[in-house]
C-alpha cells in the first residue's frame, strides 16, 4: 500500500485533489506487453470502473496508480492511493479488528489506537460481534468488508479496488455491490474499481473504461449518467451492460 510518491498528502476530500491521471501508459513484463498506450482520468470524488477480460492488465493498472510499479512509457500521476488487492490479503493469524487496523499500525499507530479506529466502523460494516474472529471464521462477504475497511483506514484519497467481489457467490456479490454503493454515497471517495463484470461496473460507476484483451488498450469509455440506487433490472442498466459487452466483443448474455 505504497503511494504514488511525491503527490502531497491531502485529506480524503477537497477540490484541490488531483485525482488520477494516466497519459499514454505502456507497461510490459519481459516480452509480455500488459498495457499499451492507456490514458485515463479520474476526477476527485469520481468512481471509474475499469473492465476487461482476464489478463488485459487491470491489476497492473492499479499497481501503477498505487506506485507499486513504474510505467515503461507514458506518465502516471495520482494522489496517494490505497490498494485493495484482488485476493483479500488478510493475514490469517490476525483478528478481524487487527486486520482492519493493519494500515494504521503500518503507519505507526499503537495497537490500541488502531483497534479503536477500526472498531468505530464495525457496526456500519456489519461486522459487530466478529471483532476477534480470524479470517477463516468469516464469510466471504465479511472478509471483503474487512479488507475494504483496511483500505479505507489507510487514509489515502484514492481507493483502488481490484475485483473486490470477484470471488463471491452471485447473491453475496449483489448484496456487497449495494453495500458499497451506499457506503460511497455516504462518504464519497475517488475510486478506481477494477472488475471483469460489466454489470457491476454499470451498477457502481460514474464512468466505465473498457479494455481490450492483452495488451490492454482503451476500446471505449461509457458515461453512466444514471440516478442511484441502480438495480440490475433497470432498463437503462441493462442497455448499458449490453453496450459494454458489445464493445468488448462478447455476445449478449441474459443473467438470472
Which residues ranging from 196 to 255 are in contact with ligand ADP (CB under 6 A)? 214
Give the shortest CB-58-to-ligand ADP separation in angstroms.
Answer: 3
Give the shortest CB-35-to-ligand ADP separation in angstroms.
Answer: 8
Half-sphere exposure of 191 (CA within 13 A, CB side): 28
Helices marked H in the chain: 58-65, 96-100, 102-106, 111-119, 140-153, 170-186, 198-204, 235-247
**Residue 158 in the binding site for ligand ADP (CB under 6 A):** no
Residue 56 binding target from ligand ADP, Mg ion, none, CB below 5 to 8 Å by type: ligand ADP
Residue 10 neighbours by CB under 8 Å, 6+ apart: 16, 17, 79, 80, 157
Please identify, using beta-carbon distances, which residue of 33 and 117 lies nearer to ligand ADP.
Answer: 33
Distance of alpha carbon 195 from the chain centroid = 8
In the structure grid, which three cell numbers stand for residue 107, read together?
Answer: 503507519
Among 59, 78, 95, 144, contact with Mg ion (rule: CB under 5 A): 59
Q: In what order do the strands lie in the sheet with 20-29?
A: 32-42, 20-29, 73-78
Residue 170 binding target from ligand ADP, Mg ion, none, CB below 5 to 8 Å by type: none
In the structure grid, which three cell numbers stand for residue 173, read together?
Answer: 456479490
Which residues ranging from 115 to 144 are in contact with Mg ion (CB under 5 A)? none
Backbone angles phi, psi at 105, to 5 degrees: -60, -45
Q: What is the DSSP string of 15-55?
A: TT---EEEEEEEEEETTEEEEEEEEEEE-TT-EEEEE--TT
Residue 172 binding target from Mg ion, ligand ADP, none, CB below 5 to 8 Å by type: none
Please identify, using beta-carbon distances, which residue of 38 and 127 lies nearer to ligand ADP.
Answer: 38
Which residues ranging from 51 to 90 are in contact with ligand ADP (CB under 6 A)? 54-60
**Residue 177 in the binding site for Mg ion (CB under 5 A):** no
Give the shortest CB-214-to-ligand ADP separation in angstroms.
Answer: 6
Q: Which residues bind ligand ADP (CB under 6 A)?
A: 29, 32, 34, 54-60, 214
Q: Which residues bind Mg ion (CB under 5 A)?
A: 58-59, 86
Amino acid at each position: 500500500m505504497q503511494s504514488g510518491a511525491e503527490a502531497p498528502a491531502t485529506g480524503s476530500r477537497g477540490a484541490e485533489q488531483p485525482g488520477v491521471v494516466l497519459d499514454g501508459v505502456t507497461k510490459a513484463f519481459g516480452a509480455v506487453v500488459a498495457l499499451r498506450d492507456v490514458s485515463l482520468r479520474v476526477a476527485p470524488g469520481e468512481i471509474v470502473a475499469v473492465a476487461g477480460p482476464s489478463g488485459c492488465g487491470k491489476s497492473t493498472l492499479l499497481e501503477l496508480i498505487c506506485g507499486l510499479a513504474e510505467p515503461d512509457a507514458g506518465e502516471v500521476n495520482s494522489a496517494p492511493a490505497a490498494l485493495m488487492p484482488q485476493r483479500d490479503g488478510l493475514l490469517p493469524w490476525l483478528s478481524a479488528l487487527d486486520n482492519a487496523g493493519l494500515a494504521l499500525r503500518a503507519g505507526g499507530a499503537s495497537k490500541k489506537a488502531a483497534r479503536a479506529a477500526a472498531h468505530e466502523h464495525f457496526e456500519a460494516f456489519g461486522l459487530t460481534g466478529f471483532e476477534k474472529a480470524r479470517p477463516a471464521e468469516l464469510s466471504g462477504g465479511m472478509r471483503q468488508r474487512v479488507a475494504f475497511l483496511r483500505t479505507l483506514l489507510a487514509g489515502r484519497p484514492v481507493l483502488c479496488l481490484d475485483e473486490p467481489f470477484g470471488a463471491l457467490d452471485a447473491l453475496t456479490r449483489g448484496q456487497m455491490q449495494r453495500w458499497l454503493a451506499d457506503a460511497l454515497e455516504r462518504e464519497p471517495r475517488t475510486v478506481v474499481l477494477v472488475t471483469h463484470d460489466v454489470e457491476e461496473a454499470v451498477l457502481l460507476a460514474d464512468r466505465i473504461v473498457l479494455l481490450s484483451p492483452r495488451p490492454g488498450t482503451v476500446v471505449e469509455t461509457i458515461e453512466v449518467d444514471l440516478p442511484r440506487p441502480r438495480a440490475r433490472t433497470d432498463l437503462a442498466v441493462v442497455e448499458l451492460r449490453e453496450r459494454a459487452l458489445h464493445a468488448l466483443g462478447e455476445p449478449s448474455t441474459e443473467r438470472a
